[in-house]
Structure 1
Amino acid sequence: MTEYVKYVDVTKCDGCRACMVACKNWNDLPAENTEFLGSVQSHKKVTADTWNVLQYIEHENGKGNLEYLFRHSSCFHCHDAACEKVCPEDAISHTKYGSVVIDHDKCIGCGYCVQNCPFEVISLKEYKDKNGSTYRKSQKCTLCTDRLDEGLQPACVTTCHTGTMEFGDKTAMINKAEQRVREIKSRFPNAQVYNPSGVGGTNTIYVLAEKPSVYGLPESPKVPTSAVAWKDYAQPIGKLMLGATTMAVVGAFVTNRLFNKAGKGETQDGGGSHE
C-alpha cells in the first residue's frame, strides 16, 4: 500500500495564506474573531475552526540581517501518533494514506489527544445538543482524506501558487526534500529536513531554512512515555486480565493520572510553546 506525504518547502513560501483559505472553504470551517497580534499573522496557532495557519516569523540570520520566515502549520500526521495512543475510545486512527483522522462518533471530548500532541495541533470544539447541553469533540487537519478518497490532492496543496507544497509517494517526497536541502545549503546553512524520528516520522515533512526551534517546533519531539506504557502495555494486559467493565474503571483512573499535564510533570525533549 502506497503511503503518501505532504511536502512543504518553506523557502518557497511567500506568505499569501491561500492554503488557509482553501482549507476553510473545503472543510466548511467558520470564521473566527481573533485578537490583534500586531503583525500580519492572523492566529497564534491552529484552532478547532482553523486547521492550518500561516506563521510569520521575524528572524535575524547569521549575517545579522532581519528576514521574514514563513511556515504553513497544520497536523503532522505522525506515523507513531501520540494522540492515537492515548485515546481511550479508539477514536483516532491511521488511514491507508498515512493520514491520522478522528472518528467524531467515537470521540468523547476527553482532551487526552490535545494534552499529548507534541506539536499542539489538536483542539476541542464545543457543541450544543438539541437539549442545550454542551459537549466537545476533537478537531484537526485530516490531510483532506475525503479528497484523497476521490483521487484528489489536499486543498492546501492544490491552491499553492509558489510550489511550496506538493503531495505524493512518501519515498519520492523525502528524496525531494533531501535534494532541496543540498541545493539551498549555501544560502541557508542551517537548512534541514524536518521529519522527526521520535514520532516515527511524519506524513507532513518540511524543508526548513533554519533550526526547528526558530519556527516554534520541538527539536526532538517524541511520544510521551506514559502514552506508550498505556497503549502498548497497560491497556492490552488490563483488558486480558480484568474484563471490559473493570478495565473501564481502571482505565479512567490510569489515564487521568498519566495524561493530566498539571499532575504528571512529564515534558517533551525540546518541547514547549510552539507559537
Structure 2
Amino acid sequence: MATKYVKYVDVTKCDGCRACMVACKNWNDLPAEPQDFLGSMQSHANVTADTWNVLTFVEHENSKGNLDYLFRHSSCFHCTDAACEKVCPENAISYTDKGMVVVDQEVCVGCGYCEQNCPFDVIHLKTYKDENGKEYRKAHKCTMCTDRLDEGLQPACVTTCHTGAMEFGEKDEIISKAEKRVKEIKERYPNAQVYNPQGVGGTHTIYVLAEKPSVYGLPENPKVPTSAVLWKDYAQPIGKAMVGGVAMALAGAFVANKFFDKKNGGQEEDGGGNHE
C-alpha cells in the first residue's frame, strides 16, 4: 500500500503573513482577484476558482474573557472519503497514490455537482470562453501541489511558511505530532483539538485548532452528504449493472433474432425447392 501524506497546520503558530497565499498564486500561475475591503486583515471571504488558499482572520473572546486573534490557512482538505469525487458523473475527480484529491481538467464538464456537495466549500467553477465565444466551466481547487510532490518537493505553501505553522509528511507521524501539540497548548487553549473529521474518512489537511471548529467557520462534524453516498455507492453501481444487463439482453436478442431469421429463411428456401 502506498504511503499516505498529510499537510499539518498549527494555527497557534500562524502570524497571518499570507506568504502561503502568495506562494500558491505564484506556483500555480493563478491570476490576481481584486477584492472589496472586508474590514479586517482577511483579504478574501473564501477560496475561489482562482484563489486556492485564503488566510482567514477571526476576533474571538476566549473562555477567560480575553480577546484572541485567530488565523487559519484555509484550502482544500483532500478528504479520504471525498464528496466531490463521489458525485462527479464523469469520474473527473480522483485520488493520487499519496491520497490527494485532484480534478482532471480534460474530463471535467463543469456540471457543478462537486461545488454543491463539498462540506467545506473549497471547490469552485471557473468560466472560460472558447474560440467562438461560447462559455464553458471547469472545477478548480487546491491540488496540494501534486506536481511538486511527484518531484520529491513539498507543497509551495508549506515551504514558504516562516513560522513553522505548516508541515508536510507521512500521515501517522503528522497525526502523532498534532496530538502531542494539543497536549502542549491545552493550558493556554482549553478548547484546543486536532481537526481531522472522521465523517469524511479523515482528511489530508489536518489542523491543530486553538478553539472549537465553528469558531473558525468550520463544520463541527462534516459528513459526506447522504445523497452523494447513495449516488456513488448504490445508484451508480446498480445503474451500470442494469445498463450492462440491458446491453447483454439486447445483444442476446440480436444474436437470437439473426439465428432464427437465418433458420426460418433456410426452411422457406427448402420448402420452395421441394415444390419444383
Q: Same fold (TM over 0.5)?
A: yes
Question: For 1:48-63, what aligned pairs fall within 5 Å after superposition?
Answer: 48-63=49-64
Using the size of structure 1 for normalisation, the TM-score is 0.88
Q: In the TM superposition, what is the alpha-carbon distance from 1:126 to its structure 2 partner?
A: 0.4
Change (3 A) 1:232 1:34: same
User: Deviation of residue 43 (structure 1)?
Assistant: 0.3
What is the identity, as a one-letter code, of the residue corresponding to 2:218?
L
Q: Unpaired runs of 5+ in structure 1?
A: 247-275
Provide runs of 4+ in structure 1 moved above 2 Å.
242-246
User: How many angstroms does 1:39 deviate by?
Assistant: 1.1
Superposed CA deviations along residues 57-79 of structure 1, whole A, max 9, x for unmatched, are: 01001111112100000000000
For residue 153 of structure 1, give the secondary structure of its aligned residue in structure 2. Answer: coil
Aligned partner letter, 1:128:
K
> Offset of 1:243 from its aligned partner?
4.4
Cα distance change on mapping 1:186 and 1:244 into 2, 3 Å: farther
Cα drift, residue 36 of structure 1:
1.3
Letter in 2 for 1:20: M
Q: Aligned letter for 1:225?
A: T
Q: CA deviation at 1:244?
A: 10
Q: Structure 1's 244 and 68: CA in aligned 2 closer, same or farther, altered over 3 A?
A: farther
- Residues 11 and 236 (structure 1 numbering): CA distance in 2 closer, same or farther, change over 3 Å? same
Counterpart position of 1:227: 228
Q: How does 1:187-266 map to 2 (within 5 A)?
A: 187-243=188-244
Alignment of 1:127-138 (within 5 A): 127-138=128-139
Residue 9 (structure 1) shift? 0.3
1:79 aligns with 2:80: yes
Post-superposition offset of 1:242: 2.3
Give me the whole-angstrom Cα distance separating, in 2, the residues matched to 1:33 and 1:186.
41
Corresponding residue number in structure 2 for 1:261: none
2:258: which partner in 1?
none
Task: Output the aligned Cα RMSD.
Answer: 1.2
Shift of 1:28: 0.1
Segments of structure 2 that go 5 or more residues without pairing to the other structure are 248-276
TM-score by length of 2: 0.88
Amino acid at match of 1:208: L
Amino acid at match of 1:141: C
Alignment of 1:1-275 (within 5 A): 1-243=2-244
- Alpha-carbon displacement from aligned partner over 1:15-62 (angstroms, at most 9, x marks no partner): 000000000000000000212111111000000000000001010011
| Offset of residue 205 of structure 1 | 0.2
Offset at residue 245 of structure 1 (A) = 10
* Separation in 1, partners of 2:23, 2:117: 28
Counterparts in 2 of 1:167 and 1:222: CA distance versus 1, 3 Å: same
1:108 maps to amino acid? V
Instruction: Give the secondary-structure state (helix, strand or coil) at the position aligned to 1:63.
Output: coil
The SS at the match of 2:235 is: helix
Q: 1:244 & 1:117 partners in 2: Cα distance?
A: 33
Q: Cα offset for 1:145?
A: 0.3
Displacement of 1:233 after TM fit? 0.6
Q: 1:47 to 1:244 in 2, by over 3 A?
A: farther
SS in 2 for 1:41: coil
Cα distance in 2 for partners of 1:83, 1:60 equals 35
Give the residue type in structure 1 aligned to 2:90.
E
1:251 is matched with: none
Summarize the Cα distance change of 1:46–1:245 in structure 2 as closer, same or farther, 3 Å threshold. Answer: farther
In 2, the alpha carbon distance for the partners of 1:92 and 1:83 equals 7
